[in-house]
Amino acid sequence: MATTKWVLDPMHSEVQFKIKHLVISTVTGSFKTFQGTAQTEGDDFSNARIEFTLDVNSVDTNQEQRDQHLKGEDFFNAAQYPQIKFESTSFTKTGGNEYKLVGNLTMKDVTKPVTLDVEYGGTAVDFYGNTKAGFEITGKVNRKEYGLTWGGITEAGAIVLGDDVKLTINVQFAKQAAA
């Protein structure tokens, strides 16, 4: 069967994260610049090979001072590590429209395996005749495992930041014309 290439449509995709602040509230952020591809056998996404890259400098928490702090050495160190990368090792259908996406996530030169839940939204043809496929990807990672260790305990004893970062990624891939 022929290999099909799908390219992420950034106009119809988003990458969001949430983290606890002082363990009493949640801060939401996103990355505005990213790219990704999927390679499948025909139109079946089982066993798809997926690659995804985020531009660290595009982090946006709706607060410029915090965004600059996140880009700095205390967190992502965007000057030295400008990208966050994901490369799948498996994409397995678990039932209905549900999949498990397993792969290697690299932040700050630290690569760790992650498992994410995926809901396949379906495939449709847009107004221009392009075939699109939509997915919602959710999961969490421990920021400290990637060297994002800033944020201890306040003088009053409150934890500044939670360890777990929740991910919600909604993506739409566009099927590429056969070469």
Tokens matching residue 175: 């099927």
Q: Is the dihedral of CA 89, 95, 97, 98 positive or negative?
A: negative
Mean of all residue pLDDT scores within the chain: 92
How much is the pLDDT for 1? 62
Helix (H) or strand (E) holding 66: helix 64-71
Which domains does the chain show, CATH number per domain?
3-175 (2.40.128.110)
Please say if the pLDDT value at position 123 is more than 90.
yes
pLDDT at 9 over 90: yes
Radius of gyration of the chain (CA): 18
The whole-number pLDDT of residue 22 equals 79
Rounded distance between C-alpha atoms, residue 139 and residue 54, angstroms? 16
Three-state secondary-structure class, residue 68: helix
Angle at Cα 8 formed by Cα 7 and Cα 14, nearest 5°?
175
75 DSSP assignment: T
Which pLDDT score is estimated for 156? 59
Q: What number is the average pLDDT over the span 87-98?
A: 96
Strand segments, DSSP code E, in 56-154 are 59-60, 83-95, 98-107, 110-125, 131-142
- Residue position matching structure tokens 């801060």: 27
What pLDDT is stored for residue 158 in this prediction?
Answer: 53
What span, in angstroms and rounded, lies between the C-alpha atoms of 61 and 106? Answer: 21
Beta carbons within 8 Å of 81's beta carbon, 6+ residues apart: 56, 107, 108, 109
pTM: 0.91
Residue range 64-73: mean pLDDT, rounded: 94
